[in-house]
Amino acid sequence: MNRKYLKAYLPISVFVSGMVILVLEITASRLVAPHFGNSIFVWANLIGITLAFLTAGYYLGGVIADRKPDIRIYSAILLAASLYVVPLPFYINPLQDFLADKLSFIPALVISSLCILAVPITLLGCISPFAIRLYIKSVESSGKRTGTLYAISTLGGLLGSILPVIYFIPRIGTRWTILIFDFLLFIMGAIGLGIGSLWAVPAVVVLLFLGMGIDNRFKKTDPSIILTRQTPYADYTVRVKDNGTKYLLVNDLRYAYSIYNPNGLLVGNTLDLYLFAPFFKPIEEVQKIEDVLVLGLACGTSVRQMNMIFDNLKFDGVEIDPEIVEIGKKHFGMKADNLDIFIMDARRFIKRTDNKYDLILMDLFLGDRIPPHLITLEFFREAKLKLKPGGIIMVNFPPEMGESGSSTLGAVFNKVYNIENLVVASDAGNFSDTQFRENIPLIKPEKLKILARKLAGKGNVSIHPARKTGAPITDDRAPITWDVKVGNGK
């Protein structure tokens, strides 16, 4: 390659390699999420591995460039990184199934992340120092040219961190996002090698079909799945049973965000328990509830259920992912005239709204965890300001939190009760578990009354005053994650 073309080729290839590094890091979070979540713990692992192997690549690239400053070797590195990535989006899922089943959380996560990132990040880390060695011909201009290449690489990384999130993943999914950007990398390697890269074309085809073959070999087909959707927040699946009941499942298909039961009121999981929040007050107070805020609307299960047993309610529903709202309208009957929907973070809504509510229902899980900023002392103090006098708040906490959730609510509200994994709280003087038990004969319909009797029956400790001995969670000191129990630990 003559000097004229080299001066154009090197900056462009550095730009593409910088972009692909960030694309791989961003999409790696989506590849591991179905098995390990996407908590800050997972992100720390991905960032740490990326930096570690970039460090190795920078060193190796400098050593190789000094020994053999050859554009063909440089281009071969680009091509090798591209070829490694080709089958990656297809074989990684069955590999992670195996790792999550055989190993505990941390080893499985680290090995999975290494399989995704170690090889391509090391190879792409070689590119910048190698390009500098090829680009610089005199000491006088070395500083400017080095700075220019690093600026171009960083600009590519900037685009690589933005484009997948705001455009590609929501429209074409994680796999095709990886392959499209990897194709750019392949093109740069092929241009540098020229006719010597023709062998790589059949190699790409073989690797692509190999990856797809592995994926198809281990893919679990399920005719009950009627919709799959990827968004910047999670992977969603809608599954329908023979009786027409629909489930919105998240990431690894273990967690139902929403359930639609076309044949009745109850859906058979924690969502049913939100219906009991008003009944911790006298029955005449229950009938006065009008304004309800649902933080974590999802597909509107709680709105639909409460509309079936209460009259004259008005709902504000807050959901951060607009795609869930569209799924709810299309598949879960979320078309209530008394529901106003707000697409934003729950805490941002609490800070901005001037509305006051009789009842706040919180179900803010992202996969199997809650973003820590939505369960802190400061957040609940802000939420309390949005309650009318005597208002009630009900929160779904992860069981792994132990008493931290109830302790945090207990530092804000005078009365706090557990109802299985949920915690309900209020400052009202007539708010109590005793009042709930007195209301049971008045609860309608009959199936809901039967569930209430089961929860509050003699010998059942599902409903009781919450213990407050745990340390409250604060904005300054919130746990990183509670989902480190993934995997069987064999």
**CATH at 298:** 3.40.50.150
CATH number, domain containing residue 17: 1.20.1250
Dist. CA 349–CA 59, nearest whole Å: 47
Q: Tell me: do 152 and 271 sit in the same domain.
A: no
Q: Tell me: do 202 and 320 sit in the same domain.
A: no
Is 151's pLDDT higher than 90? yes
Any idea what DSSP says for residue 273? G
22 falls within a domain: yes
Task: List phi, psi (to 5°) of 72.
Answer: -70, -40
Q: Tell me: do 162 and 289 sit in the same domain.
A: no
pLDDT at 211: 67
Output the six-digit token pair for 35.
């098995």
| Of the candidate ranges 135-139, 291-295, 429-433, the one whose mean pLDDT is the lowest | 135-139
Q: Tell me: do 212 and 272 sit in the same domain.
A: no
Helices 127-135, 105-125: axis angle to 10 degrees equals: 10
| Of the candidate ranges 4-13, 193-202, 286-295, the one whose mean pLDDT is the lowest | 193-202
19 falls within a domain: yes
Domain of residue 66: give its range. Answer: 3-218
Whole-structure pTM over 0.75, yes or no?
Answer: yes
Q: Identify the domain boundary among 218, 250, 277.
A: 218
Q: Tell me: do 103 and 165 sit in the same domain.
A: yes
Q: Tell me: do 188 and 90 sit in the same domain.
A: yes
| 281-287 contacts at long range (C-beta below 8 A, 24 or more positions apart) | 281/390, 281/392, 281/426, 281/428, 281/430, 281/431, 281/435, 282/430, 282/435, 282/439, 283/439, 283/442, 285/390, 285/428, 285/430, 286/439
- Average pLDDT for residues 370-384, to the nearest whole number? 92
205 falls within a domain: yes
354 falls within a domain: yes
Q: Tell me: do 44 and 179 sit in the same domain.
A: yes
Q: Which amino acid, residue 117?
A: L
Q: Identify the domain boundary among 152, 187, 218.
A: 218
Per-residue pLDDT reduced to its tens digit, 76-109 = 999 999 999 999 988 898 898 889 888 888 899 9
Dist. CA 386–CA 405, nearest whole Å: 20
490 falls within a domain: no
Q: Identify the domain boundary among 179, 196, 218.
A: 218
Q: Tell me: do 272 and 202 sit in the same domain.
A: no
231 falls within a domain: no
Q: Tell me: do 275 and 423 sit in the same domain.
A: yes
pLDDT at 221: 65
142 vs 362, higher pLDDT: 362
Task: List phi, psi (to 5°) of 415.
Answer: -125, 125
195 falls within a domain: yes
Q: Do 366 and 465 touch, CB atoms closer than 8 A? A: no
Overall domain count for the chain: 2
Q: Tell me: do 44 and 181 sit in the same domain.
A: yes
Cis peptide before 445 (omega within 30 of 0): yes
Any idea what DSSP says for residue 245? -
| Of the candidate ranges 34-38, 286-290, 317-321, 432-436, the one whose mean pLDDT is the lowest | 34-38
Q: Tell me: do 278 and 415 sit in the same domain.
A: yes
Q: Tell me: do 273 and 211 sit in the same domain.
A: no
Pairing of strands 387-396, 357-362: parallel
- Average pLDDT for residues 399-423, to the nearest whole number? 87
Degrees (nearest 5) of the Cα angle 427, 257, 426? 0
| 383-386 contacts at long range (C-beta below 8 A, 24 or more positions apart) | 383/350, 384/412, 384/413, 386/293, 386/350, 386/353, 386/355, 386/356, 386/357, 386/360
Q: Do 257 and 250 touch, CB atoms closer than 8 A? A: yes
245 falls within a domain: no
